[in-house]
Amino acid sequence: MSQRLHLVFGGELVDPQRTEFRDTNDIHYVGIFPNYEQAYNAWKAEAQRTVDSAHTRYFIAHLHRLRDEETPAGPTEELGN
């Protein structure tokens, strides 16, 4: 079975309705986790810690879903081109 890595990160957003960070130099990298459960727990802890800041959001990035740039893209991956 392949390892499924997850990155947890967050920071202050320009607008809470969008996902644009106010300052990318201030993004808080919580860590990379070996499974979704651990990533979710880390995400939840950070989200609860910053609950009073309406502009602060945390995210889970599924690193295992990133594709290898050397592998040809499937038809749905090229819709924007």
Decide: residue 33, CB within 10 A, 0-12 exposed, 13-18 middle, 19+ buried.
buried
Instruction: Quote the pLDDT of residue 46.
Output: 97
Query: Where do we find the tokens 């990155």?
Result: 7
- Tally of structural domains, the chain: 1
Q: What's the pLDDT at 3?
A: 78
Please report whether residue 73 resides in a domain.
Answer: no
Q: Answer whether residue 14 is part of any domain.
A: yes
- Residue 18 domain boundaries: 1-27
The pLDDT tens digits along the chain (81 residues) read 567 899 999 999 999 999 999 999 999 999 999 999 999 999 999 999 999 999 999 999 998 777 666 666 555 444 444
